[in-house]
Structures are given as C-alpha cells and as structure tokens.
Structure 1
Amino acid sequence: MESEDLEELLESVFDLEEDDWHEIYAAEGTPLPSQLRWIANEGSYVVKDQILAILSPLHEDEQTSDHKYVTCVEENESDVTNDKGVQCLNADEFDLSGKNGNCSNMEIDLVSASNVDNNYEDISANLSTKKPDNLLLRSTVSGKLHRLVPNLAEIKTKSDILGRIESSECNHEVVIHGLCVYCSTLVNPPKEDDYDIDQSDPKRRCGSFDQVVPGFITNDSAMRINSSLAYDMEYNEILKVLQKRKLCLVLDLDNTLLHASSQKLPSDVYVDEIDFLSKDADIFKDVQYNDDEGTLKLRKKFESSIIQTMVYNESETMCCKSYFKLRPGVFKFLKEMSAKFELYLFTMGTKQHASSSLKILDPKRIYFGNRIFCRNDSRSSMKSLDRIFPKHKNLVLIVDDTEHVWTCNLGLIKIHPYFFFPDLSYLQFQDIRTLTRISAALQAPGTYSNFVWHMLEEKISEKTDSTNADKNDEQLKDGDGFLIPSAIKRKIINYNNLFISNERPSNIYINPINELSEKSSNTQDNHNSTELFKKVYVRDNDAQLLNISELLEKVHSMYYDEFDRVVDGFSTDSIAVEYNTSSYDEPTSKNISHEGNSKYKQSYSLDMVKQLLDTKTLPEAGTILQDIRKNVMSKVCLYANPRDFTCPKTGRIVDFLAHSDFGQWASKFGAKITISFDESVTHYLCNNPHNDEIQFKHNAKKVHVKWLEAVLYTWKLVEEDKFNASNWSDPIRSFWDLL
C-alpha cells in the first residue's frame, strides 16, 4: 500500500487532532527493502522507546549480511534471555562461512545461561560487537498502537507510514502486585472497601472504582483489572455459562460440606477413624469420583468415618493434627451439582485449611478447579459476591450455613449447620439472633458423649426451669407429705431454651464393653472392680445435601425455562449477531446454538446477553429462589408457647418468634406470626407439653420447634404428627431422625 493511500485512509477513519497522533516510520539507515515483524499487538498500550517491531533486510549482499539477527540487542542493554533463562544470540556469533563444517542446514543450539562454563568471558567479548539500531522499530511516545501495515509486510520506502500511536496515558487495565503490566508503573492499591463493593447500589456501580478483583478470572487477589475491562470479560463469562446450560453455585466449606476440629472425638463415642496420610488410606483414592459398586461401599465408609490429617497452623507456624467429618452424601452432591453448576468454594477459613479439605473432597480439582476463595481473599470479615462477579449476579446461588457473613444474600440457601464434634463454646454466646446455629452445635453427635453430656448439663442446669422443678417435686409427694422414692419417679422430658433435652435418647447406646482385659476380669481380686460403661453410637441421619440437591435442580430448571421464554421474545435479527470477543479471548462461531435442551434450537450471541443484562431482562436465579421460598409456608400462621422460651440470662419470657432467627426465617418462608392464640393460628409451637396451658378450640396443630427446623431446612411442609412432643416417649436429638 502506497503512503498516499495510507494517509487518505487515516483521514477517513480517525477524527482526532494531529497532536494526538504520532506516525511511525522506519529508522534512518534501515536497509530496504525489509520485512516487518510486529512485536506489539494491535491496540495495545506501548511506552516510549518500547520496541514495536523488527525489520529484516531481504537482500543478502555484503552490505546487508551484517544485519542478520536472531534477536537484536543494544550495547547499553542487558543480555536478552527468554523465560527459561536461555540467551538469544545474533547470527554474527556463529560461523556461517562453512569453513568449520557444513552450515547449510545449521541449527543453533541455545545454551542456558546457568550452564555457561569458564569460557563465558571469551563469548561475552564476541557479544560486545555493536548491533545496529536501525533494524528496531521503537515507539516515540506512550499511547495506544494502531498498526497500519500487516505483519510480515515488505517495506520498500522510508516514507511508508507503518503505524500510528494515539498519545494517551495508560489506564492500567491489568495490575499485578501493584505493577501495571502495560507500562510497568507502580499503581497504588485501592482501599479495602473497594474489594467488597455492593454493585446493587447504583452509586457504586461501574465507574465508581477504577479496579476490581474478578474471581471468575482468578482467585489471586494480587491481580486487579480495570473495571471496564473486567465488566466486558464478565459478559463473556456469563455467555459461556449460558452456553453450557449451567448456573454458578458458591459453596461454603465448614459446617456446610464438612466439620473440622483440632480436638479428637471423645473415646466413648464409637466412630471409625482413618489416617488419611497412611498407606492404608490409598484404598479411598478414587471414592470422590467413581460410582461402581465397590467404590460406593468405600465411599460410604469414608463419609461415615473420622478422617485424621495434618494442617499447617499459621498462628503456631507448624503442622498440627486436624480431624474431619464429611457431611453424608457430599461426594454425590458435588458430582451431581457440577453437571449443572460452575462450583465455587468460598470459606472464611485459611488457605491452608481449604487446601487440606480439598485434598479430601476434590483432590484432582475436577469440581472446583482454581475457583477457591478463603479468608485472605476477603478484605473484611464479610463474604461478598463482588469478589467473584463484580457487577452481575444473575446466575449465582449460594449454599451456606451462616447468612449474616454475606453482604448480599439474595440467592442464599441457608442450610442446617453440620456439627459432629462437641463444641460447648456456643454456650458462652447465647444470642437468640443466632439460635439456629447454637441449637445445631449442641445437637452434634459428639455432645452425647458421657463426658461431654454431663458438662453440658452442669452449665445449663442452673438456668433451666427451676420453678417447674420445684413444682414437680411438690406434686410427687404422697398423701402424708412424704416424697415418693426416686426409683419410681417418672422422668419428665424437658427441652430448655436451646432446644436440648434433659435426657439423652435411649437408642444411642451400644452393648456394654468391659474395659478390663480378659485376664484381669478372671482374677477374683479384680472381679468386683470391673467397670462396665456404655459406648455411645449416634446415628448420623443428616440428609441436608440430598434435600438441597432437589431444590437446586428445581431452581436450575425454572431458570432456563424462563430464560428460553425471554430469548424467544427476541427477533432473529437481534439474536443472530456475530460473537465478537475482546482481545483477551479467542473468537468463536458466529451463532451459538443451544445443545442442552432439545426443544430449544434458537441461537444467541454476546450482544444478546449484553442487551438482556443492560435491560435487566435476564432472569435472576436469586429472585426465582425467593419466589419458591416465600410460598413454602404461605398458608401457615405460627404461635409459640411463651412458657417454653425464656431468656438464658434473666429467665424472663421472651417473644421467641419475634426476636430469634427462627422467626425471621419463618417470615421469609411466607409464614405469618401472631402474638395471640386465635382461630388464625394453624401451628402451635410447644416443646414441653407439661408446660402447656392452651386449651384447643380449633384445629391448630401442636408441633415441636424441630418441626419448624425441618421445614426451614428441607423447604417442605413436613408431616406434623411426627413432631407432636406429646406423642414422644423418648427425647429426639435432631429433626433428621424423624424424617
């Protein structure tokens, strides 16, 4: 292309002031004709004196033979090495005359700089020859490069305009460890609040902050991306997820997928234990992924056992023993959900803890890949979806046992906190606003150990119905005022304000075990000292992941039914738009057809996704979830027996449903709450029938608070008759035992 034609083209395409453009020409003294090899990409930001291209002379005569270079190095620059430390030498350093051998098909062996021997000084002396700078095409200013000549083009005249640079300041699109990858400028990190912004607030949307850390690209918080670029990439990521007919599922780790503890389970609780670091654990190598009959048996044993491993403790700077108990059905859950969701893991635990857990849950990273976020990735004590998707959360759902740690919990599915090891620390923080978690912690199977249970009784006995106890003692006297002997007293089952019974279920024990050896037990002297005690075996009937799987599949199905209806509303012209990707991604086909649904054959594009998001017509998974939730208890009106719920500190009666998180979640599920017992009441919460003073005049169903737990965590109106405490002859540990 002639220079005159290039100038006409530039005038027609670019409408900028002349001072904003700087033309690029071949350097003085460049041998012509030469072939142009671009180094800098079209549209990339370049800095002053940056090498943009290399010119290679096309005539091999005596005048140009001195300019044959593999790589050109200036005299004042350091040796050029590639990313493996290999030096790139110019052709002058090699014998091309053929005097020392046949060089017609000569291949140059590049020697690693670390392997150069004592002859390095002789070699460096040869490298000191001055290299011509006229073969290097350099930038005269900093700005955006527009290449006007294609790669490998032949340059014939020095007046040819090879490109132009739009003078501008770098906008630091990608920053790693505070250094811009384009201009190498040190960029000050944003404030801590900038990492956890709430994009639902219009004042804090795109443009309010220069950089974000998008988790869908990387989980490394050291990498920050310009917000405009990140949002463009987010559109592309959403399209990819839609192509796969998937949604995004963010999973919590602790008390959601497993329970971890630094303390071993009490010795009187019967549970198998597996040393995960021993050779014997190799048989469980593929239980996470395979589904054959033999593997399923091993998986069941693996999930029901205590897993012992080592975890690095940052505070103590050493590895410590840690014990894990997997939630029942966790491997089946991960495998089934990975088919319909892009799985993310977001935990407030340490990176080392998350890594140790994933060696058990997903050692090959098939389910989670690198989509792992931990405490260090959150600049505050809160979790935020902005860390993963800075702008659009339409496809995102969350599964977590704690709701208050999320800045935005629109798509949150709160599940029953999974506890297996005993933890009595929750007794110190008896906050009625977190009663769902406290109650779950005290229902852990490890709490029913003989050692732990009596400690629990001592701590809560002082604050549990002392008045009722005195009343019961008075009632258990004969006509002459003498107390009835305790051997024939009928123990009254009583649930305290934390929903823990004063008795353990009778079915938690296994056969008594003689702790003395057979030899000592046969000795007459020791016969009377033989101690028998009962081992505790608490069946883990937790079925939370099974129930949540059904709910997630329902949301997924409803989402794409609605998505298909929205897409059908678009005209063919607005949909069949070419899929133009940004420079960070490879282009795909013009039309992207849907393969997941045989009934849906309409193709869609990136432009369509942008239009759906910008017009807020793309369905939101969180909104669909809310619609399902508020209909679960829409026909339920709750009233709680006030005598069952007292303040643990003062002993005064409190309005349980009005102040506890049980009542708050019941309202989110659509239930109505009343403070007076009238005909509108459909369900009467009564934990202790002996404290009941309500006279039923209509068909309200009497249920234990565990019925409310079961509804909140299964998202179903479960059968009420099973949860009438008047029919219980034995205390119930967990609502899962009744389902």
Structure 2
Amino acid sequence: MTAPTPVNTREGLPYPITVDQLIADVGDDISKGDRLFAYKFWYIVEMANSPDDNDSAETTKKSVRESIEFFESPFEGKLHCWNVEVGMEIASPNQTVCQIVRPCNHDIVYGGLCTMCGKEVDEAEQLAIGGANLAISHTDLNLKISRKAASDIGHDIKKRLRNDKKLVLVVDLDQTVIHCGVDPTIGEWKRDPTNPNYETLKDVRIFSLEEEPIVPFMYMGPKPPLRKCWYYVKIRPGLKEFFAKIAPFYEMHIYTMATRAYALEIAKIIDPDHSLFGDRILSRDENGSMTQKSLERLFPSDQSMVVIIDDRGDVWNWSPNLIKVTPYNFFVGVGDINSNFLPKQQSTMLQMGRRSRTKVKESDDLLTDIIDTEKILKEKIDEEVKRQEEELSHQEGPRNEEKQSTETKEEWTKKLEYSASLEVQQKNRPLATLQEHLQNQKLLIDDDDELFHLKDTLVRIHSTFYDKLEESPNNDAMVDIKYILPDMEKKVFDGCHFVFSGLIPLNTDVQKADIVIWTNKFGGTTEIDIDENTTHVVTKTPGTYKARLAKSYNPKIEVVHPDWIFESLSSWKRVDEAPYRLIVDQPVSPEDVEQFKEKLERLRREREVQHTAKDEEEYDEFAEDSKPPNPADLFANGDSWLNDEDEEIPSDEDDDDENENKSETTSEIRGNKRAVPEDGDDAAATKKPHVVDAEDEVSDSDSDMDEELLNMLDS
C-alpha cells in the first residue's frame, strides 16, 4: 500500500475561503475531478441606485455577496482522512485539506509514462502535487522523479558515501581545470619551434567539433551543412596530481555550461580511462537553465556532502558549498569561450589573478593591453551578434506547420552569441596582437599553482567533515558542507577591513563586485573609503591617492598588492603581508590629513545622530506594536461573521437619529473602536461563523461599520 498523498489548496482561489460542506467521506473512492468539499467566500458588487432614491448623492451602492464553489480532487485514489472541518477558514494556498491513497504515486516517470504502472502521467498534475517533476539524470531529461523518490535516492547516496568515507566534488571545466581557445594562432605557434611560446604549447591538446550554423529563429527548413571548429586546450598545471590526491576522498562530477559534445571531448583529455568521472557529466544541454547552475539539479534533496569548485561564483548565486578558484588565464586576452551563456562580467585587473605580479617580465602596459584586448573582443562579439541578427532577420526560411521548434528566443540568442564569439576570436587573433607588444619575448607563461593549494584544502575539508561526524553521530543534520565551509573560510580574513584602490571600475556597486563578495566569504569587510577601521589598502600601485592617504593617516594600515589577497584565498590562510607590501614614497600633505580627520569626525557624529534617531524609531514601533489590536479590524479574526443574506451598504452615512437606535454591540464598533469581549466570550468571538439574526440585521445596520467593511474589502 502506498503512503497517502496530501491534497493542498492551489494558487488562484479567492482566499480567504471557508469550508461549507465535506462532500466525500473517508474511505470513498475518488476519481480525478470529483468534488471533495464546498467552500464559500465573499465579494463586493456595485449596483446602481434606484431613480426614486433622491436621498442619496451617490449613483451606485455596494453590496457584499456570498458565493459557493467546489474544490475538486487533482488525482484519483481512496480518501484516507480529512485535515479540515466545516467552518474552518483557509487563508492561503498550499494548505493540506485531506490525504488520498493513490493506486500509484508515479514517483518515476520516463517520457511522460509512469515506470511503475505504465499510465500516462499529466505533467501539470505532477507539478501541482509535487510529483515526478525533478530531473536528476546527468544525461537524460526525459527521466523525472518525485521529491519523495529523490529523498529516498539522496538517503541511499548519503549512506553509500559515508560507508566509502567520501564526499562529492562538482567540478567546472573552463578556467577552473582547463583553458580553451579557438585562436588559430595557437596552432601556428605550436607547430613553430622558433616561436618563443613553443615550449609552453607542447602539451596543448587539440580537437575539433562539427558546429551547427545559426539559422533564423523558428526556421523549419533543411539543416545547413555543419562546419568544423578547432579547439586548443591547455590543462591547468598540477591537474594530474590534483586528481590523484583527491580521488580517494571524493566522488567527482563535471558540471559545465558548455555543450555536451564539448564536455565529452574535455573529459577524454582530463579523464582518458573514465576512472574519475565516468558518465557523471552534466552540460548546458541537460542543465535546464542557460545562465545558472544549481546543486538541486543533481542533488534535489540533500547537498550536505557536496563541494563545488568553479571560477565563477555568480552562476551559483555564491552557494555556501562553493569554493571559488582564481580563473586560469593561460591564453591571455581570450577569456572563457563559453562565458556567453553566463552573466556578463567586467574585465578588470583582479580577474588576471596573481599573473599581474608574478610574471615579472610583463610590463604594466602589457597587462593593460590584455584587458583592453578582452574588452575589444567583447565589443566585436556584440557587433557581430547584431550583424548576424539583422542578416538572419531578413532571411525567409521555409516553414512547416506540422513541425514546431522547441527552442526559445533566449536559447537562440545565446547560441548566436556563442557562434559570434568563436568567429570573432578566429578572425581577430587576439594572441597575435598581444605578441606584437613583446616582440620575441614569451607571452604565454605557465606557472599557475592554484591546484597545488586546492588539493590540500579539499583534503582538510574532507577530514573536518568526518571528524565532526564522529563527534556528533546523533546530530548528523548539523554536519553539513554549507556550515563547514563558511566556518573554515571566515577565519582567513577575520578582522580585516579592506579598501580597494584602482582595481574596481568606477560607477560599480563595490559590494556587488566579485572580489568583495569573495573576500567577505572569507571573513573580511570592504568599504569604498578609508576610515578608522581600515586595516588594508589593496592596490596594484602605491601611487594612488587612497594608498598615500592611508599611510599618512595611519602608518599601521597595510598597503598591499592584490597578490596577497589571491595567495590568502588560494591557501585558505592569511599569509604574511611582507612579500606583498608596497612602499609609499609620496605621503599626502599634513593639511590633507587634517581635512580627512575632520571629515571622519563629522561622519562619526552623523552616524551617532542617525543611530539615536533609529533607536527612537524602533522604540516607537515597539510601543505601537505593544498596543492591543484595533477591534475595528473586522478581518482580524476572519470574515465568518458576515451573514448569509445580501447586505446592502449605503455609500452615504445615516442621520444621527437613526444612529441613536443602534444596538449596544454596534455602538461599541462605531468610531473605529470595538468592545473587547469578556474572558468567557473571547474564544467564541474568534471561532466559527457567526450568523446575525435577520431582524437585527435590518434594524441594526451601521453606516460606520459598513464603511469600515468596504474599506477593508477594497484594500
């Protein structure tokens, strides 16, 4: 016998509703669409006044009406129990009203058919009841499972991993473990022993893919011939040793925003014997989103044992399970060829990582050229996208009414941007442009050591997880990567207050910059300007005004190169500032320092005033909240007091003589005040529908109460 399935109220009902009659009995066989219960609700209608009604200046009057509707069963089965009773008010959706034992819960569905009973499954029905609508397969979107099935699978995975004493590692590809480009210059240099970059290109791997040409949106004609595109792949230094070190501790999955064909080719290079990833490869073709990644896509019920490594934090919404790595930029000026499917990023010095300091042969001009080259490349990609869009929009492709394209406009646009980015890189040859700056010097330098630090960090995370599990065997719910990682990270920059100078573009929200979010995860805080709390000014050059002011204002403030940040982030420990300290030779004038101190003092006083005002405001709000509730809020305890008959509510007020004849209860309501019931009557005042006697209703109508009711309903 299957477990009962809860039936919840859906969106779109005229809430609040009141259960009026339970139609089905416990034990009844229910078909999909059968009426389960009747409910009533109230609404307002406007009616024209009678022409003979000369006493009213209004042309319309409002009336409260009651209506009855029926709640139908979303699926078939046997009614197991009721979770509501007659007279109960339901104020919002997703409230359980009853439970039904279904003949089959359709927990696993493939291609629209239940794998258990063979019946065709209504996708809308599954969405409504939380049925088989979760895709967890790496390769097949046709396979859907219910949340219960996902929970069972998640429990089995957790049990298996703990028995093997492993965790899960989700691995990004581009700029995390490899760097890929399509610039034909790479192939030419690789074949030329006289080129200064020849040695660093010896281990570059090459493969080709048949790319589909972009056709007009909703094009239904025959497919144009495929075109071949060559890819050049550089493996991040130390990757082989990295995998060898962590493989005993982690079950690894590939998660990339590249195509599946691309991901499979990269997997052949980094995992030739399929011993590391097997078939655990998820690409954008199966992801379900063109711009975001989500752990729920692979592990919908439990992510407590999952660690992510990726060079982009924004695509994960900075998940607490994420370890952001410094982007691997071997083919300088090229960037990530699959970044068109990700949120846009600005090219900055910080994206160069430690390259901006450790490559002593590279001049400041070259670094600027690299960033400028990436910007120019992006601009040309945008121009190419516009050109191709305009060209394709004028092409009239054949139409076939019997065939329908499942591709959305967004998907088509992203593919167009990707195609344009490949064409622009192939035509503009950014590497050749940058090499001209260095003449016969080496442009491509390969001394990245990110994975050297990362493998040790991952082993520490694994040890911490299982140590905590042994310490708390009966409270394993708290042994979770989303708690362990932040706890380890925040110790790195605890107590550090940063100011970035000359590194974050102007007119940028500093708190949304990647480097700021990243350092915040590791316990640091960042401000736009120097203040009494500043501990570090991070800059590429000590000549910036903020760097000079910092040293003049407080000599204890460290002025450091960004490499200190990256080295600390990579090693997960606050490294010594000495090797990264910048010498400030030109302090600001004493007058500037005094003006700065006066400004700080002025800001401090303003903050005190604002803090005092905020405290007073919070006290006033507390005092207001502490007052007894306004009895005139006619809906505070539901609207079940409304009578069963239509009640006409005049727009104008009644005269004073009529008001003198009101009942005691009505008089207490008048003037936005309502009598507080005696202790014994308190429960009765807030419980179940209250039907007003029809005779009292006619004689005791109150214009103040009516007007208050209309105001409540209109709002």
| TM-score of the superposed pair, with normalisation by structure 2 | 0.50
The structure with the largest helix share of the pair is 2
